[in-house]
Structure 1
Amino acid sequence: MNAQTQRLAVMAAVLVAIAIGFHALTGSFLTAENLYNIAQQTAVVGIVASGMALIIVARQIDLAVGSLLGAVGVLMAWLQYTQGWSVGASLLAGLAFALLIGLFQGWLSAVIGIPSFVVTLGGLVSLRGAAFLIADGKTQPVTEPGLLALGGGLDGSLGERGSWLLGAALIALIWGWQLVQRRALVRAGGTPDGKAGLISGVLGTLAVIAVVAVFNAYRIEGQEQGQGLPLPLVIWAAVVIVLGFIARHTRFGRYVYAIGGNPDAARLAGIPVRRVMIQLNLLLAALVALAAVVAMARLNAGTNSMGTGMELTVIAAAVIGGVSLAGGSGSVAGTVLGALIIQSIDSGLLLTDVSIGWRMVVLGQVLVAAVVFDRVVQK
């Protein structure tokens, strides 16, 4: 078991301990309803955190993701409600706006050489102002049922049958990927660790079955069938799977880790550092646009306050999940645990009637503790 896997195991154990502890205190933390709500509430942060992980791995930072989400969300809602655009056209316009901002910030950082901290700090302020100016600070409601389903809610889930079908597909993917890795290792002349692969596959299978069973157990009053997997969770899972594959099994992903490990050596080795950095910014911008769609659907509206303070939560999720602020190490999968740990702590404190002030204090110190743990591991 390598260091990254060990760290993920530790974070998973911490998450389980948090859940058990809060359930002992409240008696309601591990109920299907609360877990369903936690999954929905975490999805927006988790989608952005998966892209932020790669940004931090490459020794960069983006402080403007929350403001960009607000600007994109209110733009899409404003185009639908005030300007009468179709849902598809408004979503494409929001994506184009996000990509334009990502390209501009990436160009300033990678080509001009301005530190990403400075560039995105300016974006944090400017884009929040843009979010206000787009609709003059007015809330823009959205009513398209298909769009609202993406935010979860009564009609925003797969249902019991759909959830089991998706679960079966994920289990097949887990074992199929184990087989692909085993064959690749044999072709390379290595000796597969059958025991480790078996344990990994069994744990993954049990995790999928447990998640589907829990969400199917959540039934809204008056409905015979369980809700099943909420669509925000499905979208988040798809993002993590795709980005995880890109990070670990593509040339682009190897370039990102090489740049984070030593930018000068990566440049001398012929890696197009500037191009990769711009592509990273575009990737994160696209994920922010996707998260804005989910957030807008959850709120049934676009508001200029969407995403306020989210940049810190996203960075915290990445760091708690094992991404080193020094760059060069970390994983997309770790951000899932990081985001769930943050949301679980916040939800647990809320259930125990802790005031918002103390919740903020605790969450801030959790981030500090994660950074301290990262430094200890590095040493």
Structure 2
Amino acid sequence: MAAVLAAMAIAFHAVTGNFLTPENLYNVAQQSAVVGIVAAAIALVIVERQIDLSVGSVLATVGVLVAWLIYTKGWHWAPACLAGWAVAVAIAVYQGWLTAYLGVPSFVVTLGGLVTFRGVAFLISDGRTQPVTDATFLLIGGGLDGAIGVTGSWALGILVCGWLAWNAARRRRLAVQHGFTPRPLLLDVLYTGFFAVAVLGFVAAMCAYRIPSKEAPQGIPNPVLIWALVVAFIAFLVNRTSFGRYVYAIGGNPEAAALVGIPVKRVMLQTFVLLGTMVAVAAVVAVSRLNAGTNSLGSGMELYAIAAAVIGGIALSGGSGTVLGTVLGALVIQFLESGLLLLDVSVGHRMLIIGQVLIVAVVFDVIYRRRTGERSQ
């Protein structure tokens, strides 16, 4: 998938001449953040053999509520965001309880939620845009000052590269301690080096972009930083906690998971609550980026989030895939969007192409699993 991403970037740059410019890459990174945050969490729901089609509508409900509380009711942005999070969790508990404890198919529950909560968003705003002008709140979504600067970006990049090297050495040491043969040293060096170069290249691109009205370059934008923290947190849950192991066990075989004592219903509900929390985070970022909340916020988000997860390697049949893969999936979607936009492709044709890319990704997933002997349906 990384190779596909690189090929797309080179092809679009060859055709347009300005795809790989710092300005475009900076915008692509920011635009990918909202979808990436939702995709990282919806990946776990899909791993459990469930689905959530309401994420876009819930994002609109939370976003409009936060903007309405700030603009119309005069709330400070912090309690307004907490109120939005509480509503997102309440919705997640409602839909998760219907799915996990009553056994109603998540497709049906969240399909109803897709329509219902879009209507709720409209009722909250009464169809009117709710502008937000709080300077501190707007930093969350990027903008003129919503980045950590050159020094902070390079420091963070070097820190991540150091962690990559430490983690590779730790894996080799643990493999030896437990009697396993570690991977060839050259392979580990190349693997770690590839990601280190990718991180430093990304930092260099972000630090090369400067808004004309400012003297200093931007650095890594805040939405991307929030996205990275969300992915790191969910990856930690998956790889370092029993909750993460339970999620994959349930996705692999729910009946077997129940028989060995895994609390299937509770874990499933917790997964929906985690998704609700991340949708609330994405809603805050989206409202901050747009400087306003509208009832059309998050339209089509369910398509992009699910597409990013599937393209990133999450199996629709459940039980397999990685959270980190959703990052590549989100970037593939946004690369397509940005490249087609630079080519002046119409909205209708862009939607057609992205929809077909999703189908191709699912077809590839099914064929690959059949050939490797994995369960594909």
Question: Once the two structures are superposed, what CA deviation does each residue of 1:191-230 show, in whole Å capped at 9, x if it has no partner?
Answer: 2223332222211211111000011111111433211111
Q: Trace 1:342-353 onto structure 2 (pairs within 5 A).
A: 342-353=333-344
1:1-379 matches, within 5 Å, as 11-193=1-183, 194-379=185-370
Aligned to 1:5: none
Q: What one-letter code is carried by the residue in structure 2 that aligns with 1:44?
A: V
Residue range with higher mean Cα deviation, 138-147 or 175-184? 175-184
Amino acid at match of 1:120: T
Q: CA RMSD in A?
A: 1.0
Task: State the number of aligned residues.
Answer: 369
Unmatched runs of 5 consecutive residues or more in structure 2 = 371-377
* Corresponding residue of 2:375: none
Aligned to 1:150, the other structure's residue is in SS state helix
Q: Distance in 2 between matches of 1:147 and 1:72?
A: 15
- Matched-pair identity in %: 59
Distance in 1 (CA, whole Å) between partners of 2:200 and 2:303 is 32
> After superposition, what is the alpha-carbon deviation per residue over 1:86-144, rounded to whole angstroms, capped at 9, x for unaligned?
11111110000000100111100000110000010111011000001112111111111
SS in 2 for 1:346: helix
TM-score of the aligned structures, taking structure 1 as reference length: 0.95
After superposition, the C-alpha distances for 1:218-260 in whole angstroms (9 at most, x for unaligned) are 1111433211111111111111112112112221111111100
Structure 1 unaligned residues grouped into runs of 5+: 1-10
For residues 138 and 315 of structure 1, the distance between their equivalents in structure 2, rounded to whole angstroms, comes to: 29
Q: Deviations over 1:281-326 (max 9, x none)?
A: 0000000000000000000011111001110111011001111100
Secondary structure, counterpart of 1:112 in structure 2? coil
Distance 2:234 2:95 in 1: 21
The two structures have a TM-score, normalised by structure 2, of 0.96
Which residue of structure 2 lines up, in the alignment, with residue 7 of structure 1?
none
CA distance in 1, matches of 2:262, 2:206: 45
Deviates more, 1:108-117 or 1:239-248: 239-248
